[in-house]
Structure 1
Amino acid sequence: MEDVLEALRQQHKHLIEMLRHMNEENQAKLNKILVSVGVEEEELREEISTQEKWFKQLAFQSAKIYGEEHELTKHYKEVYSLETGKKWDS
């Protein structure tokens, strides 16, 4: 049973990594389009910062409700790291 859970965790990590990569590609394309139509680069940075704060807030709230070692908290910390490219630093 533990092997099955580990296999699912690995598959989940792989899928998140694929989605992150696709997100990066799409973000780069979107940035080019937005800049070409006049959206300032600073506005884009602010949006990215807001998204990072949102991911971090999910992890903090989960830790507050369920505790640091809960699977959901670990998941949100992992998603934060994958989505932002930054190491979790509670």
Structure 2
Amino acid sequence: MTLTPSPLTAALAGAFSALVMPVLWPRLVDDSLWLVLGFLLVVAFPAHAFVLGLGQAPSARPGTLDKALLKRVGAWGLAAALVLLVTWGLRA
């Protein structure tokens, strides 16, 4: 299975993680096993699948900077930060 990442998929993964993890955190914080599993399923797997991609070769040559990956990581982090700021602003 191959999955080609883009800045849009990276941003959607960041938004998903930022929306779901604060909801799950209070329910999982008492049990470290469930906290780790929840973090893997809600943050790590979407980030890997939709920012790095699945089943493809790296887009940059060894020893060079992968600018496309940096853009996707930036989109992921920016989307997560914006969603958190908006949800915190709505709570206030």
Do both proteins adopt the same fold according to a TM-score greater than 0.5, normalized to the shorter chain? no
TM-score, normalised by the number of residues in structure 1: 0.44
TM-score, normalised by the number of residues in structure 2: 0.43
- Choose between structure 1 and 2 for higher RCO, CA contacts under 8 A separated by at least 6 residues: 2
Structure number with greater Rg is 1
Q: Which has the higher helix share?
A: 1
